[in-house]
Amino acid sequence: MTAFLEIILRLAVWLALAPLLPGILNKTKAWVAGRRGPPVLQLYYDLARLWRKSVVLSTLASPGFIAGPAVAWVALAAAALLVPLGPAGGALSFKGDVLLLVYLLAAARFCTAWAALEAGSSFEGMGAAREVSYAVLSEAALITAVLSLSVQSGSVTLGTMLTPPVGAGAALLAAGLFAVLLAENCRVPFDDPNTHLELTMIHEAMALDHSGPPLAVILHGASMKLLLFLVLLSEAVLPIRQLPAFTASAALAGTVLSVTVGVGLVESLLARFSFRRVPLLLTTAFLLCLFALLLAWKGGAQ
């Protein structure tokens, strides 16, 4: 019973906190640009507004148009439950849970792309094509990072895997995972979350025809994914989980916040890459993670 309650509680924390991050990100960008910017809670307002709206449905779209975002959201929420939260560990933890995490993320992507194709619009087709093309590279980088952590700790359980390397390994992993975070969450320089230009979009293009609650679910899912990657990055690089409980929680929250601000700064100071350069950067991220893997492997043998 307590275990069940704990899961509910953790889920509530994930669901409630996730939409805060885009708000902080946008506030950072506004601050750099000298604007006041939207309120930090803007995404909450947007979600509430979208939830009350009705849905515009194409007569040609199959039920997958609605089911896609829903399944993707559930997959992301389940993935979130697997991620250990500092001293509290993961809500669900078992041997090989990290593989499930990777697969859940892939499933979420598949469902979003599927729903995008359902609309039959050329924009969404392009968006989905771009999303899955770049995923080939960013997933490779993510899996390599996971492998390096696994070799480092000799475990395939997220709870024990996240004992970060020190020195060069941590730096390589941090750089690689940061690039993966930017790519997976459609941030500059990979994608421009603020653009209104359909021809240049990746993630936004996939949601162009969604409205009302399905759109709210897509937006909320995206914010959960961002939080998930921020937590993973923090714990994979910094020895947060070896600290005392209270300090660890504070350190985790602080790291997540500062990386969020960092993403905002990257977005403020860097122009977006042209599409043909994106694979270059993702390959670099993959290589960084690969070198971290080599370090974990050979470094550990000595």
Of 268, 271, 269, 272, nearest to 37 by C-alpha is 268
Q: How far is the CB of 256 from another protein (least distance, A)?
A: 23
Task: Write down the least CB distance from residue 270 to another protein, Å.
Answer: 5
- As measured in angstroms, the least distance from the Cβ of 34 to another protein is 7
Packing angle of the helix pair 64-82, 2-17 (nearest 10 deg): 110
Backbone phi and psi for residue 234, each to the nearest 5 degrees, phi listed first: -60, -45
Looking at the chain, list the stretches that DSSP marks H as alpha helix, in order from N- to C-terminal side: 2-17, 20-33, 42-52, 64-82, 97-118, 122-153, 158-161, 168-184, 203-206, 212-237, 245-269, 278-301
Beta-carbon count within 10 A of 31 CB? 15
Q: Nearer to another protein by C-beta: 3 or 197? A: 197
Site for another protein in 243-272 (CB under 8 A): 267-272
Which of the ranges 120-128, 216-224, 226-234, 284-292 carries the binding residues for another protein, by CB under 8 A? 120-128
Q: Which residues contact 41 (CB under 8 A, 6 or more apart)?
A: 19, 20, 23
Instruction: State which of residues 17, 20, 24, 32 lies at the interface with another protein (CB under 8 A).
Output: 32
Q: Are 128 and 116 in contact (CB under 8 A)?
A: yes
- Report the residue number, 40 or 265, with the smaller CB distance to another protein: 265
Q: Among 67, 192, 198, 64, which residue's Cα sits nearest to residue 121?
A: 198
- How is residue 223 written in tokens? 């914010």
Distance, in Å, from the CA atom of 235 to the CA atom of 163, rounded to the nearest integer, reads 8
By rule CB under 8 A, what string of x and - marks binding of each residue 195-224 to another protein?
xxxxxx------------------------
Least distance to another protein, CB of residue 205, Å: 10
- Residues 160-199: x where in contact with another protein by CB under 8 A, - otherwise, as a string: ----------------------------xx--x-xxxxxx
Over the window 121 to 160, marking each residue x when it contacts another protein by CB under 8 A and - when it does not, the resulting string is -xx-xx----------------------------------
- Paired tokens of 155: 């475990």
Question: Could you tell me how many residues of this chain bind another protein (CB under 8 A)?
Answer: 30
Site for another protein in 33-62 (CB under 8 A): 33-35
Residue closest to 65 by CA, chosen among 5, 14, 135, 112: 112
Exposure of 243 in the CB half-sphere (CA atoms within 13 A)? 15
In the complex, the smallest distance separating the C-beta of residue 128 from another protein, rounded to whole angstroms, is 13
Q: Which stretch binds another protein (CB under 8 A): 14-22, 26-34, 154-162, 210-218?
A: 26-34
The smaller minimum CB distance to another protein, of residues 14 and 134, is found at: 134
- Choice between 163 and 268, CB closer to another protein: 268
Is residue 277 close enough to count as binding another protein by CB under 8 A? yes
Of positions 143, 275, 284, 294, contacts another protein by CB under 8 A: 275
Question: Position of tokens 């050329």?
Answer: 122
Q: How far is the CB of 190 from another protein (least distance, A)?
A: 10
Binding site for another protein (CB under 8 A): 29, 32-35, 122-123, 125-126, 188-189, 192, 194-200, 267-277
